Structure 1
């Protein structure tokens, strides 16, 4: 009897624990300190760039991040079905592409393609967010994933 899950521990750790916690932390920051979040994404953002009138945008972004956190921490944990994992993670990869595009637009090609010009915030964004994006794509391509697809739904 084959009891080894088709999804390796490294993917499980990243997608079931690390990323959901990071997304949940992003949720809290967007609700409680949106200026900090804005400054982490835009090197030219100042206190005058934030307006309480734009808080609904940050609240909606917080909702998006909370959905990511829930999807990974709860939905992925409920199944070993590789098709479900691939479907959800590919959708998140598409979001990663738009996040990269947004970073490109605000930083410009001079900074975006020059790690020596990155602030610590860019290092965090690119390494901690887009590294896992590459791993999402690798998972979707089947890298390190067993070919047998378990379809058992587990309780959480």
Structure 2
């Protein structure tokens, strides 16, 4: 008889099946319909004059990527309870988080990035919504909260 499939703990399911897909869809809407605002939100050095309609294709492609991200979490993870699939998706998202954090650091400058007292309100929202889920992704990858003892078996 195969071992029972692990139950994904509720906090991970809430984050990955509901919260993050909604945030990703919000990002897609902003990137496609409000690219100027999206740029101002993501880059402290941008000004309202920085956006150019000639670059809209980049925002549209980014929006498509956000939609894909939302669908993978909201749909793919709903059709499986296989921990290996969840971990693969979460690992990919964690890699994305690291690249996003790198981009934020490059945009803000290291001296601002490491000093939250210098962050704008948009930075607080962006970085909090990156760090929190990134920590939870690490938790899922290391199976924190799965209720296993030292033997790795269900209680």
TM-score (norm 1): 0.89
What does residue 18 of structure 1 align with? Answer: 19
Task: Count residues with an aligned counterpart.
Answer: 148
User: 1:1-20: CA deviations, max 9, x gaps?
Assistant: x9995211111001100000
Unaligned runs of 5+ in 2: none
Unaligned runs of 5+ in 1: 150-156
Q: Give structure 1 regions of 4+ aligned residues with deviation exceeding 2 angstroms.
A: 2-5, 145-149
Query: CA separation of 1:32/1:141 partners in 2, compared to 1, >3 Å: closer, same or farther?
Result: same
Query: CA separation of 1:86/1:148 partners in 2, compared to 1, >3 Å: closer, same or farther?
Result: farther
User: 1:81-133: CA deviations, max 9, x gaps?
Assistant: 00000001101100100000000101011110000001111111111122101
Q: What is the CA–CA distance in structure 1 between the aligned matches of 2:15 and 2:56, rounded to whole Å?
A: 30
Q: Secondary structure at the match of 2:58?
A: helix
Q: What is the CA–CA distance in structure 2 between the aligned matches of 1:133 and 1:67, rounded to whole Å?
A: 19
What does residue 123 of structure 1 align with? Answer: 124
Q: What is the CA–CA distance in structure 1 between the aligned matches of 2:153 and 2:121, rounded to whole Å?
A: 41
Q: Which has the higher contact order (CA 8 A, sep 6+)?
A: 1
TM-score (norm 2): 0.89
What does residue 104 of structure 2 align with? Answer: 103
Decide whether the 8 Å contact of 2:101 with 2:130 is kept in 1.
no
Moved more, 122-131 or 83-92: 122-131
Decide whether the 8 Å contact of 1:93 with 1:133 is kept in 2.
yes
1:1-156 counterparts in 2 under 5 A? Answer: 6-145=7-146
